[in-house]
Amino acid sequence: MGLRRQLWWFAGIATALVVALVAVAVTLAGVVVVVGVLAARDPQRGTAPSTSSVAVADGAVPQRYRAAFDYALTLCPALPAPVLAAQITQESGWDPRAVSSAGARGLGQFMPGTWKEHAVDANGGGAEITDPADSLASAAAYDCHLIDQVSGKGYDGDAVSLMLAAYNAGPGAVARYEGVPPPSFSAGQTHDYVAAITAMAARDTVETVPGLVVAGSVPERPLPAWPVGADGLAPNAEFGRRWLQASFGVVVPVSSCVASAGHVEDSYHYDGHACDVMVSTAGSVPDAAGTQLGWAVANALVADHRGLGVEQVIWQGRIWTAQRPTWRDYENPLGSSVTLDHLDHVHVSFDRGR
């Protein structure tokens, strides 16, 4: 009986040890899982911003190129502003006369063949590789082209990082490695290029401000006209005013929506009603986030112009019209003393007859 009791005692101890070891193993596995999840969520792991609803910090773009930079962003909604700024800094240091040893030229460092195929004329003077406005617009448009080339294929990495790799080494290299090429490729040039731009973009990113993303959308069919109010606003002007406020949170006071007969600017240039969509304090120059917000508002008006009855949009010295649906430089018909393209608001006119 004594021997049997000892055997049971040893068996109990062995069972307890096994249970303890299993508990330790489970705990360690849980720690590994938690560490893995935290690592996946770590924002410092080189993942580029994935939306243009962020703005670039002041100073990241030379002021003399700011208007051209803001316009270039309108050509690629998927491209975050800080990424484009960092990309140009990395490519040329913002020197439009820069020429690489391989023959790449301009702010965006385009090779002649790529420029011939993807050049964008930003100001109506013909696409010139050394023109900062053309090079910035072409770089943004080409970025979007590359995003389309490398996205949705199951490659490892976010769309913007894959685009940067393709900009540096070509889409073929990204396809070959099914992601950003490793440091072993091309002596690490492409890998370092993506890492440098990603780091700069993260440093110069301004957090999203309320209103940068449209909360709702306009259906393809025209919206029903809002009843004309006691203030005499045209149906679509009033509807557009409320839609903009609900979608972006911007200030569109009723007093800013006026009839042609009651506004000297509109009586000269517009046949309809107009509103000033405020994106910064009246009379002030908007900061980087305000400028980005202005372009978001302007492009939303353009995209949904049929439903809202929009005839014209003016912002940052650029004009879009339903009769000529493209952004181009705006020349004030009333002269420099009267500016319809004030920096603090987006000016939009609506069709009176809708």
Distance CA 88, CA 91 (A): 5
Q: What CATH number labels 55-206?
A: 1.10.530.10
In order, the DSSP letters of 276-336 are: EEESSSTTS---HHHHHHHHHHHHHHHHTHHHHTEEEEEETTEEEESSS-S-EE---TT-T
In order, the DSSP letters of 127-145 are: --TT-HHHHHHHHHHHHHH
Residue pair 265/181 in contact (Cβ under 8 Å)? The answer is no
Distances (CA, A) of 183 to 156, 186, 188, 190, 244: 15, 8, 4, 8, 47
Tens of pLDDT along the chain (354 residues) come to 455 555 555 556 556 555 555 454 444 444 333 333 223 323 332 333 333 345 678 789 998 888 788 778 778 877 888 999 999 999 999 999 999 999 999 999 999 999 999 999 888 788 999 999 999 999 999 999 999 999 888 999 899 999 999 999 999 999 999 999 999 999 999 999 999 999 999 998 875 433 333 333 333 444 455 555 555 565 566 677 777 777 777 777 666 666 544 333 333 334 457 788 888 877 777 777 777 788 888 888 887 777 777 888 988 888 888 888 888 888 766 554 444 445 788 888 887 654
Residue pair 182/195 in contact (Cβ under 8 Å)? The answer is no
**Residue 273 — φ and ψ, nearest 5°?**
-115, 155
Task: Give the active site residue among 91, 117, 128, 220.
Answer: 91
91 is a catalytic site residue: yes
Residue pair 295/316 in contact (Cβ under 8 Å)? The answer is yes
**Count of C-beta atoms within a 10 Å radius of residue 299:** 19
Q: Where are the domains of the chain?
A: 55-206, 235-351
Residue with tokens 């962020």: 54
Q: Enumerate helices (H) and strands (E) in the chain, giving the number of each.
A: 12, 8
Distance CA 160, CA 197 (A): 10
Distance CA 29, CA 188 (A): 35
Instruction: Give the strand pairing for 310-315 and 258-259.
Output: unpaired
Structure tokens at 66: 């700011």
In order, the DSSP letters of 213-278 are: S-SS---SSPPPPPPP-TT---HHHHHHHHHHHHHH--B--GGG-EEGGG-HHHHHH-SEEEEEEE
Distances (CA, A) of 330 to 43, 250, 313, 315: 41, 23, 10, 9
Note the pTM of the prediction, 2 decimals. 0.53
Distance CA 160, CA 205 (A): 15
Structure tokens at 253: 């006071």
Q: Residue 278: exposed, middle, or buried by beta-carbon count in 10 A (0-12, 13-18, 19+)? A: buried
